[in-house]
Amino acid sequence: MGDFNRAYEQVFVPGRLTVGLMTPMQGQPGALADLELAQQHARLADALGFAALWTRDVPLMIPQGSANETAALDDPFLWLAALAAVTQDIVLASGAIVLPLRHPLHVAKAALTLDRISHGRLLLGVGSGDRPEEFARFGADLETRELAFREHWEAVRAALEPGPGAGVEKGQYRVLPPPQARIPMIAVGSARQSLQWIAEHADGWASYHREEDRQKGRIALWHMAQDQRAPGLRKPFVQSVQLDLLDDPAAPAEAIELGLRTGRHALAAYLERMRELGVAHILFNLQRGPRPVDDVLRELGEHILPQL
């Protein structure tokens, strides 16, 4: 398999739980993000020791979710490149590139470029997509997207392999010279694949926040799928959390859609429970809370990260 790049080693630390952040961290539904502000947040997160900056791939502005909100997100590779330019150590992660809607060689070219210019800081998360309007507009078949996902996965994986001959057959050409180290590919959501397929092919699996007992069961299934092919192997599990961090550090945790509203003491206890369940990395989405992002980042960086 070969050695992984910096991104994998920094985000997935055996026995530890690391913390990342979804970007942009501030903005209004349907409005373009303020790049200067996002770069300011990225620099602060890098200085505080957060593990990763994540972004989503939303090809079209289609209302979604319980609030029927519309997202206006920039191209994920270009966005992460802009954040890479103002940071030194923090990992750049996609959550997730909609693989069936993109040509795999274009994905590979962008991934190789971003990994190179960030000095090995790319974590490539990919998913299958699920919005019928997007598949229709791109001329792709929604009903067979699981097949397209697997085909595109194989092409991207081959193109990203380190080594002079990896992934290149007679009559084929590389999109760029091979990387120095393996670029990790993470399956995000089910990607319409079995857990057995994900356990065999992916370098990790990312899923959504669930009530703790349900998440415990989900992680147990993930471990079971890995044990079926390689007993004892533990590829990382990643979880996203919508976080509304309250001013009162002692405020108890309460559930919100796909996350928590909580003070930092209850948050620290929650993160320790997640670590014990086998979660390797949690990425926080801070857009739900009313507090200034800088204040939340500093509280997390000064009081939560040192405990992990």
40 inside domain:
yes
**What are the two backbone dihedrals, phi and then psi, of residue 262, each rounded to the nearest 5 degrees?**
-160, 160
CATH, residue 73: 3.20.20.30
What radius of gyration do the chain's Cα atoms show?
19
Cα–Cα distance, 225 to 228 (Å, whole number): 5
Structure tokens at 304: 């939560």
Within a 13 Å sphere around the CA of 82, how many CA atoms are in the beta-carbon half?
Answer: 18
255 inside domain:
yes
pLDDT of res. 2: 54
265 inside domain:
yes
Structure tokens at 53: 């900056």
17 inside domain:
yes
1 inside domain:
no
158 inside domain:
yes
199 inside domain:
yes
pLDDT of res. 71: 85
Q: Among candidates 61, 28, 210, 205, which has minimal Cα distance to 131?
A: 61
Q: Which residues of the chain have pLDDT under 70?
A: 1-2, 66-67, 164-171
User: What are the residues facing 68 on neighbouring strands?
Assistant: none
Tell me which H or E stretch contains 145.
Answer: helix 145-160
pLDDT of res. 163: 78
**In the block, residue with structure tokens 């994540």:** 54
Number of folded domains in the chain? Answer: 1
115 inside domain:
yes
Cα–Cα distance, 100 to 61 (Å, whole number): 18
Q: Does residue 285 contact residue 241 with C-beta atoms inside 8 Å? A: yes
User: What are the residues facing 224 on neighbouring strands?
Assistant: none
Structure tokens at 300: 């997390």
pLDDT of res. 1: 46
Q: What percent of the chain has pLDDT over 70?
A: 96
Q: Does residue 91 contact residue 50 with C-beta atoms inside 8 Å? A: no
Structure tokens at 185: 């590919």
pLDDT of res. 77: 98
DSSP type of residue 252: P
Q: Among candidates 181, 55, 54, which has minimal Cα distance to 112?
A: 181
Instruction: Provide the CA 169 distance to its chain's centre, in angstroms.
Output: 31
Describe the crossing of helices 104-117 and 76-84 by its angle, rounded to 10 degrees.
10
Distances 308 to 13, 19, 64, 237, 240 between C-alpha atoms, Å: 11, 9, 34, 16, 17
Range of the domain at 244: 6-307
pLDDT of res. 70: 86
Q: Does residue 42 contact residue 295 with C-beta atoms inside 8 Å? A: no
